[in-house]
């Protein structure tokens, strides 16, 4: 993999993790305007993007580790939000986080299956 792509992926991953943590742990009822009414879609998209960036930022690490790490991050966010007055634990948030993670790795799996099927056909 190109080292520029690797470094950009790693930097982007760190920045998004920091941004997610900042917004998730922000004390008070302030919700950014771009998230209002789109909270669940935002959860899905953020964890889909985190999955993508983690795959590019750590290409030598197995996808299982990526999935488990992101799942634990999603749970940690919700548990820590219990400590804030205007925040709370949301199982639905975790479900949308997991659906973003699952969707990304399902697409990777389907792409690889299709790629292997095409290469197998060409070799026959």
Under DSSP, is residue 70 helix (H, G, I), strand (E, B) or coil? helix
Q: Are 100 and 48 in contact (CB under 8 A)?
A: yes
pLDDT digits (tens, 9 = 90+) for 76-111: 999 999 988 788 899 999 999 999 999 999 999 999
User: At a CB cut-off of 8 Å and minimum separation 6, what does 42 contact?
Assistant: 34, 35
Residues in the chain predicted with pLDDT less than 70, given as ranges, are: 1, 27-37, 119-124
User: What pLDDT does 115 receive?
Assistant: 77
The pLDDT of residue 76 = 96
Supply the pTM of this predicted model: 0.84
The whole-number pLDDT of residue 124 equals 62
pLDDT score recorded for residue 24: 85
Residues in Cβ contact with 46 at an 8 Å cutoff, skipping those fewer than 6 apart: 16, 20, 97, 100
Q: Where are the beta strands (DSSP E) in 13-113?
A: none
Task: Give residue 103's pLDDT.
Answer: 98
pLDDT at 30: 58
pLDDT score for 84: 84
């Amino acid at each position: 993999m190109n080292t520029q792509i690797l470094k950009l992926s790693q930097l982007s991953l760190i920045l998004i993790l920091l941004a997610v943590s900042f917004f998730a742990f922000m004390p008070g009822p302030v919700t950014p305007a771009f998230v209002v009414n789109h909270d669940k879609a935002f959860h899905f998209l953020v964890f889909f993007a985190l999955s993508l960036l983690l795959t590019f930022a750590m290409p030598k690490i197995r996808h299982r580790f990526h999935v488990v790490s992101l799942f634990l991050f999603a749970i940690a966010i919700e548990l820590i939000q219990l400590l804030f007055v205007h925040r709370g634990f949301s199982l639905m948030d975790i479900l949308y986080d997991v659906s973003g993670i699952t969707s990304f790795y399902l697409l990777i799996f389907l792409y690889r299956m299709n790629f292997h099927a095409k290469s197998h056909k060409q070799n026959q």
